[in-house]
């Protein structure tokens, strides 16, 4: 029986789209989160330096990935908030695509999915993904750079570490659907996959992105006011963050259905335009459902902010930069 379930789950995961790997707009959200830490603005005279860490980073990356400097050129000045905000998006710039990392990467879609998720199902029977290890990997590089008096790469590696920790706070990256839905629907893998993709894309590419880009006050307030998580070990905290996010998947699934309608769980692709979403967001009949959905998304974003702040605060104490 267990074997059958495993094969079905593998088949289902292989059908997941390859472009679904975490919250949208890491940079915009990180700017709010880290901008709320008053001490960060003191790091405002940082010289942009060239990348000289090949010998310290033994991980493989996509050959097409090149280091870009979006805020200026080597030798120019920048500040910590700018570096942390811009480069918290960097791991999504094809760094981890088209790689052969593990025979288990197929469980998470592909190599990028493998590095950006930590997937645990059926009480630990099925595990895939190393996002928690990538949090620690880039944290270690950040320490090396700071110890080398290179604040630029110290903060830039810390931004990459933040990215992976933030990905782990997205509930759908810990479990694609609640257990009861998986058990009920897994027989028809193709339809089940469409159902999960509908929920996933609608949350990340429409709902969450729109609320952030609209500057929704509650969203901004949550990101700015979350209390820093107490972090003593980035690796262990990443695992705890993903466990906490996984607990939200049941509520998230139901509340997405209540707000967007049962069609989101239909066995065909669910599409919504930005105009339709704006109408839903202001529709008086939808306000109760919107408030409840916001509660769940904001709980996840509270984790996003809390763990991001916790990691940066921990780095400051631990690395003493
Ligand atoms: Zn990611």
User: For residue 99, how far is its CA from the centre of ligand 1 (angstroms)?
Assistant: 15
3-state class (DSSP) for residue 298: helix
What's the Cα-to-Cα distance from 209 to each of 82, 113, 205, rounded to whole Å? Answer: 20, 20, 6
Question: 289 is in which domain, residue-wise?
Answer: 2-319
User: For residue 116, how far is its CA from the centre of ligand 1 (angstroms)?
Assistant: 5
The residues, any chain, with a CB within 8 Å of residue 236's CB and separated by 6 or more, are: none
Mean pLDDT, consecutive 10-residue stretches, the chain (321 aa), reads 42 43 81 96 97 97 96 96 96 96 81 88 83 97 98 98 96 86 84 87 87 91 97 97 96 96 93 91 96 96 98 97 93
Kindly state the tokens that stand for 248.
């939200």
Q: What is the pLDDT of residue 21?
A: 52
User: For residue 287, how far is its CA from the centre of ligand 1 (angstroms)?
Assistant: 31
Q: How many domains does the chain have?
A: 1
Kindly state the tokens that stand for 231.
């972090």
Question: Is the distance from CB of 219 to CB of 211 less than 8 angstroms?
Answer: yes
Kindly state the tokens that stand for 300.
């996840």
Query: What Rg, from alpha-carbon coordinates, does the chain have?
Result: 20
Question: Is the distance from CB of 101 to CB of 111 less than 8 angstroms?
Answer: yes
Q: What is the pLDDT of residue 25?
A: 86
User: For residue 23, how far is its CA from the centre of ligand 1 (angstroms)?
Assistant: 7
User: For residue 67, how far is its CA from the centre of ligand 1 (angstroms)?
Assistant: 17
Q: What is the pLDDT of residue 188?
A: 86
User: For residue 19, how far is its CA from the centre of ligand 1 (angstroms)?
Assistant: 10
Spatial distance between the Cα atoms of 18 and 290, rounded to a whole number of angstroms:
28
User: For residue 260, how far is its CA from the centre of ligand 1 (angstroms)?
Assistant: 25
Q: Quick one: CA dihedral 57, 58, 62, 64, positive or negative? A: positive
Q: What is the pLDDT of residue 10?
A: 44
User: For residue 4, how far is its CA from the centre of ligand 1 (angstroms)?
Assistant: 30
Residue 17 has a CB neighbour count (10 Å cut-off) of 13
CATH code assigned at 80: 1.10.575
Spatial distance between the Cα atoms of 54 and 26, rounded to a whole number of angstroms:
25
Q: What is the pLDDT of residue 22?
A: 63
User: For residue 284, how far is its CA from the centre of ligand 1 (angstroms)?
Assistant: 35
Helices (H), the chain: 2-14, 26-35, 80-87, 111-116, 131-147, 151-167, 179-185, 189-201, 209-213, 217-225, 234-246, 249-260, 274-282, 287-319
3-state class (DSSP) for residue 171: helix
């Amino acid at each position: 029986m267990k074997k059958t379930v495993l094969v079905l789950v593998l088949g289902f995961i292989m059908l997941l789209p390859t472009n679904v790997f975490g919250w949208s707009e890491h940079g915009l959200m990180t700017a709010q989160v880290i901008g709320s830490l008053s001490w960060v603005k003191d790091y405002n005279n940082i010289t942009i330096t060239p990348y000289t860490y090949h010998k310290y980073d033994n991980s493989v990356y996509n050959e097409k990935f090149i280091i870009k400097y979006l805020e200026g050129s080597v030798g120019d000045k920048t500040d910590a908030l700018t570096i942390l905000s811009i480069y918290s998006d960097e791991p999504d710039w094809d760094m981890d695509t088209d790689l052969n990392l593990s025979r288990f990467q197929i469980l998470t879609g592909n190599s990028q999915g493998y590095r950006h998720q930590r997937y645990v199902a059926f009480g630990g029977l099925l595990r895939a993904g190393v996002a928690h290890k990538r949090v620690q990997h880039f944290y270690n590089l950040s320490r090396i750079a700071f110890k080398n008096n290179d604040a630029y790469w110290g903060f830039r590696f810390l931004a990459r570490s933040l990215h992976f920790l933030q990905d782990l706070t997205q509930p759908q990256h810990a479990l694609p659907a609640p257990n009861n839905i998986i058990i009920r629907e897994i027989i028809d893998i193709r339809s089940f996959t469409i159902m999960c993709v509908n929920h996933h894309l609608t949350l990340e590419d429409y709902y969450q992105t729109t609320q952030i880009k609209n500057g929704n006050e509650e969203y901004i307030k949550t990101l700015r006011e979350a209390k820093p998580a107490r972090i003593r070990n980035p690796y262990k905290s990443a695992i705890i963050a993903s466990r906490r996010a996984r607990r939200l998947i049941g509520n998230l699934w139901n509340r997405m259905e209540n707000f967007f309608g049962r069609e989101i769980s239909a066995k065909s692709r669910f599409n919504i335009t930005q105009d339709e979403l704006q109408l839903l967001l202001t529709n008086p009949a939808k306000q109760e459902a919107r408030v409840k959905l916001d509660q769940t998304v904001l709980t996840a974003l509270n984790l996003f902010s809390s763990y991001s702040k916790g990691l940066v605060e921990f780095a400051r104490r631990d690395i003493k930069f």
